[in-house]
Structure 1
Amino acid sequence: MLPKTPTKGMRDFLPEEFALRQHVLSVIQQTYSSYGFTRIETPAVENIALLTSKQGGDNEKLIFKILKRGEKLDNARSPDDMCDLALRYDLTVPLSRFYANNQGQLPGVFKAIQMDNVWRADRPQRGRFRQFVQCDIDIIGESTYIAETELISATTKALANLGFDNVTVRLSDRRLLNAIATHCGFAEEQKSSVFIALDKLDKVGIEGVLAEVSEIAPDKAQGFVDLLTRVTQADDPFAAVVTELGDDLPADVADNIRNILYVANSNVTNGKVKFDVTLVRGMGYYTGTIYEISVDGLNSSVGGGGRYDKMIGKMIGTDVPACGFSIGFERIVLLLSERGYKVDTGKGIAVLVDKRIDAEELAAVSKLAGELRTQGNNVTLLKKIKNFGFQLKQLRDQGFTVKEYVDGNLHDVD
């Protein structure tokens, strides 16, 4: 027997599930379009050199690689030389390639929507799959905090339009993290490892972070953790970190964070935007502002993003400012499903005909069904089965109004 179940980490979607997914995508796209973003599409398959360019953090360890074909595979001299293509693991790296390739045909400030599948060879668990949809918006060409505030406003509005009325956006900056590491005395080559340790805070707690940083720099770890503790426990964490760092924090970085917090909180109507000194985000391509968003009912974040001003420059030789925000589509759909969120699929009418219907009558009833469709109804034409009661219940459970074709006319079925 051939296998009938999807491969591990992949899923089939029943009609009701697919309808919910399409509805969520539609709401998100309509919201983003209202902010002036336009949708693009890139290939699922990219050159492996692009996806292994040390910009994707740990995701580069989770790539689905594609073997070379024919003589190229036969002539491969090492395992690393056996693959030349791969499935994309996110939408940001492909977007940067897209912009680099099409820059001359795009506006100076380009606002992109991407809503597509990505693939990661991860261990499947609740809300995490090997094939999943990401919903991204990015602004390329805008170097000021206009980009961050627009992205935050659009993302929180999309969640509001899906019924999430209590969201929290946590915000920081990779340059501020660098300033903290400098202030605490870490060597340049130690900083990346320190940030990786801090990124595990939610999983291992502050003592776990202390233990891991102690292995990197035993004489600096306690001071680092103490600073984080003082800042997080302060009434105003952002003011506290500015005071702690003094001249180690560039004034323009502090001003940028302060302005984003002010403008974003003025625009967000379904939650709050707050500074979080412990926020890291694992992607290696972030250069400035970073943020994550969470909603009531889920412990982990449902989206995140940040500024990546250096990525496009690696393809065209000149840096281009870029900033993005990605919604965790699968987690949003899971939450809505658990809340019993219902999708209005429109007026559905099931027209039943006798199994012995002749061609002339079938043509007539098909014409009647067509007239109903022109009136905005979704109409399905079905043969009446022997177990009519079961069929009737199924159709009504699916939301259909049932009509029967008798003597040239459609009659409601009681």
Structure 2
Amino acid sequence: MALKKKPVTGMKDILPAEMQVREYVTNQIRETYGGFGFHSIETPCVEHIENLSSKQGGDNEKLIFKIMKRGEKLNIEEAKEEIDLTDSGLRYDLTVPLCRYYSNHAASLPSPFKSLQMGSVWRADRPQRGRFRQFVQCDIDILGDGSRLAEIDLILATTTLLGKIGFKGYTVRINDRNILKGMAAFCGFSEDSYDQVFIILDKMDKIGMDGVEKELIEAGYEEDKVKKYLSLFESTTPDASGVRSLGETLKGSLEDDQAENLAAIIDSVTGIATSQFSIQFDPTLVRGMSYYTGTIFEIQVEGFPGSVGGGGRYDKMIGKFTGMDTPACGFSIGFERIVTILMEEGFTVPGSQEKTAFLLEKGVSDELTNQVMKEAMEERAKGVTVLVSQMNKNKKFQKDGLLKEGYTQFKEFYKDNMK
């Protein structure tokens, strides 16, 4: 039986042109986030199945690539449930591993701790444009800072990075889970109905206000409560004053400082940021992860479905490991989606080294070959990228391919003479 040459469904081989873009973006990430004081860390790609299945990862927990027990621990005959067969799995995000990492090493880390983590994650998801079953995530997180300084720093760092790699005109949508709950409480929804209400609200960008109203009523909620609820969204403006105005409306259903905290984040980012983007209050923003406890945000790029980044505050998650809650807030960029956008736009890595190709005719002498190799080494020492390769019969086709790879200078060496 012939071996399969295509990669596994949902995973992909990366060709040199894309790899060059990926490496450029990776370098910009490390340089930019390093300038904001974030420390690079690394965690294993395999996590304890108990951690991955702890009801902190939302729908991602349904998409775990689970790993079977090994050796004498694997007893298929006596297994009654799936848990009897598995003890670990591939990580589906970087947040759960980070919380375990911090819980294990907090005594050796600075406080607050600013973490930068890049690495592959795996989800048994349905592949589509910009979404794979194996993909790279890039997270920055601030652990141990409960003030809004963390959110401001994360948004500024992320938008500075996007500006450096050429993104502009995008939108950072921002909300707060407490405001979501306050709006629902103000309109008379019971606390045990919040999750269902928010799931329907999260469809706003797909089905519109009328669609949300219809689904809420069909779900059994009273029409007067639904109409009161939706009127809040219609009357709110997407700026800091809109947050403050909504805070005044929700008095009694929202703690006094929560609306002001979000408005102050918007004001600070608007006044400080150097990149070209807008930050907008979006009271319909929900984000699916159940572990978010406060501020939440997403990045929306025009013409690209879904978000290309997101995050928020998750102050209760580390406490699941340590028994003591620790303030935590993070922002993740969609590395694969950003690379997809850049590739589709024909992005060229700026400031690339000069690239020269030395082409040797087949059969040149060892003496000439050594001479060429020595000259190539001298050019490389000057910072020039030099490819030494045997000349193909179809030289034009070979050169056309090298031009696509960024080679601009060619030097040809023949058995009898040199051009």
TM-score tier by shorter-chain length is: over 0.9
**What is residue 68 of structure 1 aligned with on the other side?**
69
| One-letter identity of the residue aligned with 1:193 | Q
8 Å contact from structure 2 (residues 360, 412) kept in 1: yes
Structure 1 stretch displaced more, 74-83 or 264-273: 74-83
Structure 1 stretch displaced more, 196-205 or 45-54: 196-205
* Cα deviations by residue, 1:280-329 (Å, 9 ceiling, x for unpaired): 11111111111111223324321111001111111111111110111111
**What is residue 362 of structure 2 aligned with on the other side?**
355
**What is residue 399 of structure 1 aligned with on the other side?**
406
Structure 1 stretch displaced more, 205-214 or 232-241: 232-241
What is the alpha-carbon distance in structure 2 between the residues aligned to residue 234 and residue 397 of structure 1?
A: 46
Unaligned runs of 5+ in 2: none
Query: Taking structure 1 as reference, are residues 296 and 110 closer, same or farther at Cα in structure 2, changes over 3 Å only?
Result: same
Q: Please report how far the alpha carbon of residue 367 of structure 1 lies from its aligned counterpart in structure 2 after TM superposition.
A: 1.9
Tell me whether 1:328 sits opposite 2:334 in the alignment. yes
8 Å contact from structure 1 (residues 352, 381) kept in 2: yes
Tell me whether 1:256 sits opposite 2:261 in the alignment. yes
1:126-137 equivalence runs, <5 A = 126-137=129-140
**What is residue 33 of structure 2 aligned with on the other side?**
32
Counterpart pick for 2:318 among 312, 315, 327: 312
What is the alpha-carbon distance in structure 2 between the residues aligned to residue 27 and residue 338 of structure 1?
A: 19
Counterpart pick for 2:380 among 355, 358, 373: 373
* Cα deviations by residue, 1:255-303 (Å, 9 ceiling, x for unpaired): 2112111111112231221211111111111111111112233243211
What is the alpha-carbon distance in structure 1 between the residues aligned to residue 281 and residue 203 of structure 2?
A: 18
* Cα deviations by residue, 1:151-199 (Å, 9 ceiling, x for unpaired): 1111111111111121211111111111112112222211122112211
Q: Please report how far the alpha carbon of residue 80 of structure 1 lies from its aligned counterpart in structure 2 after TM superposition.
A: 3.3
| One-letter identity of the residue aligned with 1:101 | N
What is the alpha-carbon distance in structure 1 between the residues aligned to residue 83 and residue 57 of structure 2?
A: 18
Secondary structure of the equivalent of 1:248?
Answer: coil
Q: Normalization by structure 1: what TM-score?
A: 0.93
| One-letter identity of the residue aligned with 2:323 | G
Unaligned runs of 5+ in 1: none
**What is residue 60 of structure 2 aligned with on the other side?**
59
Query: Taking structure 1 as reference, are residues 73 and 393 closer, same or farther at Cα in structure 2, changes over 3 Å only?
Result: same
Tell me whether 1:246 sits opposite 2:251 in the alignment. yes
What is the alpha-carbon distance in structure 2 between the residues aligned to residue 216 and residue 396 of structure 1?
A: 60
Tell me whether 1:90 sits opposite 2:98 in the alignment. no
8 Å contact from structure 1 (residues 21, 333) kept in 2: yes
Tell me whether 1:177 sits opposite 2:185 in the alignment. no
Secondary structure of the equivalent of 1:170?
Answer: strand
Query: Taking structure 1 as reference, are residues 40 and 105 closer, same or farther at Cα in structure 2, changes over 3 Å only?
Result: same
**What is residue 2 of structure 1 aligned with on the other side?**
3
Secondary structure of the equivalent of 1:247?
Answer: coil
8 Å contact from structure 1 (residues 364, 408) kept in 2: no
* Cα deviations by residue, 1:360-379 (Å, 9 ceiling, x for unpaired): 44333222211111111111
Q: Please report how far the alpha carbon of residue 112 of structure 1 lies from its aligned counterpart in structure 2 after TM superposition.
A: 1.1
**What is residue 237 of structure 1 aligned with on the other side?**
242
What is the alpha-carbon distance in structure 1 between the residues aligned to residue 116 and residue 39 of structure 2?
A: 5
8 Å contact from structure 1 (residues 56, 283) kept in 2: yes
* Cα deviations by residue, 1:228-254 (Å, 9 ceiling, x for unpaired): 333369995323422321221111212
| One-letter identity of the residue aligned with 2:376 | A
Q: Report percent identity of matched pairs.
A: 49
8 Å contact from structure 1 (residues 313, 319) kept in 2: yes
Tell me whether 1:159 sits opposite 2:166 in the alignment. no
Structure 1 stretch displaced more, 306-315 or 356-365: 356-365
What is the alpha-carbon distance in structure 2 between the residues aligned to residue 226 and residue 217 of structure 1?
A: 19
Counterpart pick for 2:110 among 74, 82, 107: 107
Q: Normalization by structure 2: what TM-score?
A: 0.92
| One-letter identity of the residue aligned with 2:336 | E
What is the alpha-carbon distance in structure 1 between the residues aligned to residue 320 and residue 64 of structure 2?
A: 21
